[in-house]
């Protein structure tokens, strides 16, 4: 199993590293202000027929045809289909998408890589337990994900440099801290409770700290740009809300709420002034950006999942 992984890993390492270094230079030369640059969207039911106008692509592996992954380059841009799969995640520079799909002849989802222009499709993992919810480290050298094992869900880290996969903690849906030293993740209810725990742990294992709990229908958590806070979705008090809580533990603070629709997959802008979320009113899930000062929102695209790449405005 490990030998197969090393071969697959080596095939994608060079491209991922080169793109990450390019992104670092662009960020240093950028001006102030932030806006949504690129987002990856998984759409339900082929966007109610919208994808019928997109050119079909042929892949070396087969997927569920109902899960379409699109790239939206900026608010208002036409979505571009790049793959069939789920759990899309952007590389730090926005140039590569990691996602999950079931390869031909397999019964489990594996992690795939494809460039944001739809080229260069590669299979990354080959695990008996499958793989779910990949997410890139800030430097683009590692990918965290989770797999089903005998003890339940387990978070693992794939290291391109070391060509290794290392178990980190029991849980699911990991997200890296901005410095790459910690992850925030979810864990199933314990002791008969109904809320999922939101925990922070070191990326080399250990140091677990429970910072909050959530009963969201679509539980999700992420980091603030400075790494000091955790942002997460919740359905407390019979309404959908987004909270933030200190990463070191403390009292949660509600920063957005809506009584008519679900909000999940929160992503704070680096300046903390805007919040990107997926909203769902049971009809048309969409990706929206909220101004936290005015509470006004704007829609980026229709879709059930999104990984937003924030860019500096010129």
Tell me the residue range of the domain where 91 lies.
2-309
Question: In this structure, is residue 31 part of a structural domain?
Answer: yes
Q: Pick the closest to residue 166 from 183, 188, 187 (CA basis).
A: 183
Question: In this structure, is residue 263 part of a structural domain?
Answer: yes
Residue 247 CA to its chain's centroid (Å): 19
Strands 305-312 and 34-44: what pairing?
A: antiparallel
- The total number of structural domains that make up the chain: 1
Question: In this structure, is residue 299 part of a structural domain?
Answer: yes
Joined together, the tokens standing for residue 236 give 């407390």
Model-level pTM? 0.82
Cβ-based burial of 69 (10 A; exposed 0-12, middle 13-18, buried ≥19): buried
Question: In this structure, is residue 50 part of a structural domain?
Answer: yes
Could you tell me the CA-to-CA distances from 111 to 57, 66, 173 in Å, in that order? Answer: 19, 18, 14
**Residue 285: predicted pLDDT:** 87
Burial 271-308 (b: 16+ CB within 10 A, else e): ebebbbbbbbeeeebbbbbbeeeeeebeebbbbbbbbb
Joined together, the tokens standing for residue 158 give 């794939």
Question: In this structure, is residue 314 part of a structural domain?
Answer: no
Alpha helices in the chain (DSSP H): 2-28, 45-48
**Residue 266: predicted pLDDT:** 95
Task: Measure the CA–CA gap between 183 and 179, rounded to whole angstroms.
Answer: 10
Within 10 Å of residue 78's Cβ, how many Cβ atoms?
11
Question: In this structure, is residue 301 part of a structural domain?
Answer: yes
Q: Is 47 helix (H, G, I), strand (E, B) or coil?
A: helix
Strands 152-159 and 142-149: what pairing?
A: antiparallel
The one-digit pLDDT tens for each residue of the chain (314 residues) are 332 233 233 223 222 222 222 333 333 333 357 889 999 998 755 444 333 332 222 333 444 445 899 999 988 899 999 999 999 999 999 999 999 998 877 788 999 999 999 999 999 998 888 899 999 999 999 999 999 887 789 999 999 999 999 999 999 999 999 999 999 999 998 766 788 999 999 998 888 999 999 988 889 999 999 999 999 999 876 678 999 999 999 999 999 988 778 899 999 999 999 999 999 876 788 999 999 999 888 999 988 889 999 988 76
**Residue 282: predicted pLDDT:** 64
Task: Measure the CA–CA gap between 99 and 67, rounded to whole angstroms.
Answer: 11
The one-character DSSP state at 236 is G
Question: In this structure, is residue 35 part of a structural domain?
Answer: yes
CATH number of 24's domain: 2.120.10.30
Task: Measure the CA–CA gap between 99 and 71, rounded to whole angstroms.
Answer: 12
Question: In this structure, is residue 165 part of a structural domain?
Answer: yes
């Amino acid at each position: 199993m490990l030998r197969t992984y090393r071969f697959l890993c080596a095939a994608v390492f060079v491209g991922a590293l080169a793109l990450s270094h390019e992104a670092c230079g662009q960020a240093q030369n950028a001006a102030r202000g932030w806006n949504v640059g690129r987002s990856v969207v998984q759409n339900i039911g082929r966007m109610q027929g919208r994808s019928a106008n997109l050119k079909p692509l042929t892949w070396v592996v087969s997927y569920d045809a109902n899960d379409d992954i699109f790239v939206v380059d900026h608010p208002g841009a036409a979505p571009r289909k790049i793959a069939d799969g789920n759990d899309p995640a952007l590389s730090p520079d926005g140039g590569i998408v990691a996602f999950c799909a079931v390869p031909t002849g397999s019964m489990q989802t594996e992690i795939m890589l494809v460039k944001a222009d739809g080229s260069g499709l590669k299979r990354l993992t080959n695990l008996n337990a499958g793989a779910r919810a990949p997410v890139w480290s800030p430097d683009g050298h590692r990918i965290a994900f989770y797999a089903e094992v005998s003890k339940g869900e387990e978070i693992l880290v794939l290291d391109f440099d070391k060509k290794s996969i290392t178990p980190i903690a029991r849980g699911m849906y990991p997200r890296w801290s901005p410095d790459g030293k910690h992850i925030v993740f979810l864990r199933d209810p314990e002791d008969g409770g109904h809320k999922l725990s939101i925990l922070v742990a070191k990326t080399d294992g250990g140091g677990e700290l429970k910072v909050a709990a959530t009963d969201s229908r679509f539980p999700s958590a992420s980091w603030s740009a400075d790494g000091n806070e955790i942002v997460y979705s919740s359905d407390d008090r019979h309404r959908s809300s987004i909270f933030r809580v200190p990463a070191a533990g403390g009292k949660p603070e509600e920063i957005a709420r809506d009584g008519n629709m679900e909000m999940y997959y929160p992503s704070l802008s680096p300046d903390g002034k805007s919040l990107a979320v997926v909203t769902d009113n049971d009809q048309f899930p969409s990706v929206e950006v909220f101004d936290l000062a005015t509470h006004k929102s704007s829609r980026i695209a229709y879709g059930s999942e999104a990984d937003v790449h924030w860019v500096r405005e010129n």
